[in-house]
Amino acid sequence: MKNYCLNFPTLFASLFVFFLFQTGCKTPPSTGNDASKEEWTSLFNGQNLDGWDVKISGYDLNDNYENTFVVEDSMIKVKYDGYEEFGNRFGHLFYKEPFSYYRLQLDYRFVGEQCPGGEGWALRNSGAMLHGQSAATMAKDQDFPISIEAQFLGGDGENERHTLNLCTPGTHVVMNGELEETHCIESRSKTYHGEQWVTAEFLVLGDSLIQHILNGEVVLEYTKPQIGGGTVNNFDPAVKTDGKALTEGSISLQSESHPVHFRNIKLLNLEGCTDPKAKNYKSYFVKSKNSLCLYD
């Protein structure tokens, strides 16, 4: 009869090798920074307007007249239920923190009927204001912030109506090497009729480049945004320094008389630590701000 028993030294060696294979030889899980992983920030928490300021023409800062801006169903809704007529109460909802180099994404849709008294051009019209002045610097009766407007337009059911256009309240931009003083310039986008959601994206690189993007396609781009021109009223002259480059500023959402919903508002900051030795280095940062670098 064969002896199948292992002697003690052999058994111990076998168990030791097995133990090393199961524990010590495994690659430990990585706890370091993934430099290429994009870290988007939600600007809207889905529950309330924390982090945002309201400014409606004719009213003091954060006087949200008749609950123009409300949060319902995890959306920011622009509503006019308490209005008898619009009365040129142009409103803007400002995110409190300014940005310079970033990507911004959000969904919007137009719903219902325009508020009585709204301008004809404001039918299914809203927008995201970029590189704007802060809410606190707007005069009480000012209609629009000095800013670059990425204009949202909804189709009227019949006609071609582009969206992600450019409008320039108190500003100018450069296109094709020339200073462009036209107030509104149409994009190359398709028309979106009905109450469908549209996902808008913007690439903003200081004053060197701004792109409006739909479904991965750049539908409009320009450079050198700067203060200048008209189409903004009742502003504080101390704020409007014509010729000043717009390298950063506020982001705000419009109320222009047509009900509109916003959701999934998020931002990827492209400014940060560019030292590969830092634990918060990101390979996608475009502009260095190494005062933010963190080391072990």
Nearest to 211 by CA among 284, 140, 130: 130
The token pair that represents 88 in the structure block? 């040129």
β-pair partners for 193:
none
134: Cα separation from own chain's centroid: 15
CB–CB of 78/109 below 8 Å? no
The token pair that represents 190 in the structure block? 């398709």
Check residue 24 and give its pLDDT: 45
As a whole number of angstroms, the distance between CA 294 and CA 296 comes to 7
Check residue 32 and give its pLDDT: 66
Domains, the chain, ranges and CATH?
41-272 (2.60.120.560)
Check residue 33 and give its pLDDT: 80
Report DSSP state, residue 191. B
pLDDT averaged over consecutive 10-residue blocks of the chain (296 residues)? 41 39 43 85 97 98 98 98 97 98 98 97 97 98 98 94 98 96 96 96 98 96 96 96 98 98 98 96 97 94
Instruction: For the sheet with 165-167, list strands across it.
Output: 52-56, 91-95, 250-255, 125-132, 148-153, 165-167, 184-185
Q: Give the 3-state secondary structure of residue 292.
A: helix
As a whole number of angstroms, the distance between CA 220 and CA 213 comes to 7
Check residue 104 and give its pLDDT: 98
The token pair that represents 263 in the structure block? 């959701």
As a whole number of angstroms, the distance between CA 290 and CA 43 comes to 24
CB–CB of 151/166 below 8 Å? yes
DSSP-assigned states of every residue in 75-86: EEEE--TT-SS-
- Residue 221, judged by CB atoms within 10 A of its CB (0-12, 13-18, 19+), counts as middle
The token pair that represents 8 in the structure block? 């003690």
CB–CB of 152/166 below 8 Å? no
- Per-chain mean pLDDT for the chain: 91
Check residue 139 and give its pLDDT: 98
The per-residue pLDDT for range 272-291, each reduced to its tens digit, is 999 999 999 999 999 999 99
The CA distances from residue 189 to 153, 155, 163, in Å, are 10, 12, 6
Query: Position 110: which residue type?
Result: F
The per-residue pLDDT for range 105-140, each reduced to its tens digit, is 999 999 999 999 999 999 999 999 999 999 999 999
Check residue 11 and give its pLDDT: 40
Maximum pairwise Cα distance, the chain: 106
Check residue 201 and give its pLDDT: 98
Nearest to 53 by CA among 253, 265, 266: 253
